[in-house]
Homo-oligomer: A and B are copies of this chain.
Amino acid sequence: MTRVTIKDVAARAGVSIKTVSRVMNGEAHVRADVRERVMKVVEETGYRPNMFARGLSSARSFLVGAFFDDPASPYASDIQRGALTRCRERGHHLLIEEVDRDAGDWKSTLDTTLRQVRLVGAILTPPICDWPELIDLFDAHGVPVVRIAPALVPERTPLVRVDDRRASAEMTQLLIAAGHRDIAFIKGPPAHGSSNERWRGFCDAMQAAGLTVADHRVLEGDYRYRSGLAAAETLLDTGTPPSAVLASNDEMAFAVLVVAMRHGITVPDRLSVVGFDDMALARMAWPQLTTVHQPNFEVAAAAVDLLIDAAEPQDAAHHRIEVPYTIVKRASVGPAAV
């Protein structure tokens, strides 16, 4: 199968290759009948512009890069899917790249990548979206960046985020409204912006309700299951467990459920548990987790839009998008025991 090139189309349509190029790119200054004639030939031949030729001759590569700390995490999967879907809707492709924080040479590896392919733009996810050196590198290469949920210097790049602080406060209020007073909090890792936001939202709501946050009710995890187990163990393996636990993500909340079960503490009768993220896990737990749905798909799609729009001149769009969260009420919350 010989590939059909712009020349073939031009010849068959009886126009110059430049005109075909114009038609393919939807540029103005092409007479309607000519445009139609070219389109017809394109239909017939199935011609599609070659990405490499495009990338070489223009700046536009039609390639969006998504950079992850851990591309195999469920979170990364969600983001990828959103980005992928939007990319294909807009005729682009998605390149997945990993930035390994433990590899000493991540900078040179990334540098190589950026030299090899001139990306339309890059999507940076937590926690790497908060590495200043990394952003410097993209800047140096002139690659536009959109960060997702960064913690630092929000003015530095366009970004897409969810109001984690407000979501966390709202979730805390939900517990308070159910009568809970002794609420424990399991923090996430400080490297993630969302982690701090969620902690602050919790404090906001507690303070607003006139409740104090006891030190021994606040534990630090790292968003992973094991850390949730450890935190839950210290919380529940005492004579006086809290009446509710707000974990900074579903994985740790799930761990709390498991530990509660092991200790014979029934949820939600004697303990309420809530999480964050609305991962698949939240629905697989028993009881199912009340949690904050993070619209990762939409977040990623918005990030792609931001990049592609910025690449096209007419933009001047907003550089900061906030996507709404929703609180998903399931069975893991009950009224406080009296």
Which A residues are within 8 Å of any B CB, using their own CB?
1, 3, 46-56, 61-62, 71-74, 76-78, 80-81, 84-85, 88, 93-98, 109, 111-113, 115-118, 140-142, 225, 251, 254-255, 258, 261-262, 280-281, 283-284, 286
Contacts and interface: CB of A to CB of B under 8 A. Distances in A.
7 contacts: A48-B112, A50-B56, A51-B116, A52-B52, A72-B77, A72-B78, A88-B98
Nearest to A139: B1
A298 to B, nearest CB: 14
What is the count of identical protomers in the complex? 2
Contact of A84 (B48, B71, B115, B251): B71
A117 B84 contact: no
B61 A52 contact: yes
Contacts of A46: 111, 115
A173 B77 CA distance: 35
Contact of A85 (B81, B98, B115): B98
Given A80-B96, A258-B284, A116 B1 contact: no
A48 B116 contact: yes
A71 to B, nearest CB: 6
Given A118-B52, A286-B258, A81 B71 contact: yes
A73 B279 CA distance: 12
A44 to B, nearest CB: 14
A118 B84 CA distance: 19
A318 to B, nearest CB: 27
B141 A117 contact: no
A281 B251 CA distance: 10
Contact of A98 (B71, B84, B281): B84
Contacts of A93: 95, 97, 113, 116-117
A3 B118 CA distance: 10
Contacts of A142: 1
Given A56-B50, A280-B225, A77 B84 contact: no
Nearest to A112: B48
A90 to B, nearest CB: 13
Contacts of A116: 48-51, 62, 93
B84 A80 contact: no
Given A51-B116, A115-B46, A225-B284, A88 B72 contact: no
A262 B286 contact: yes
Contact of A77 (B61, B71, B112): B71
Contact of A80 (B62, B72, B280): B72
Contacts of A286: 258, 261-262
Contacts of A117: 50-52, 93
Contacts of A61: 52
A52 B48 contact: no
A5 to B, nearest CB: 10
A254 B284 contact: yes
A137 to B, nearest CB: 10
Contact of A225 (B76, B112, B283): B283
Most B Cβ at <10 Å: residue of A73, A109, A116, A254: A116
- Which 6 A-B residue pairs are closest in the complex by CB-CB distance? A52-B55, A48-B115, A72-B81, A52-B56, A72-B77, A51-B116
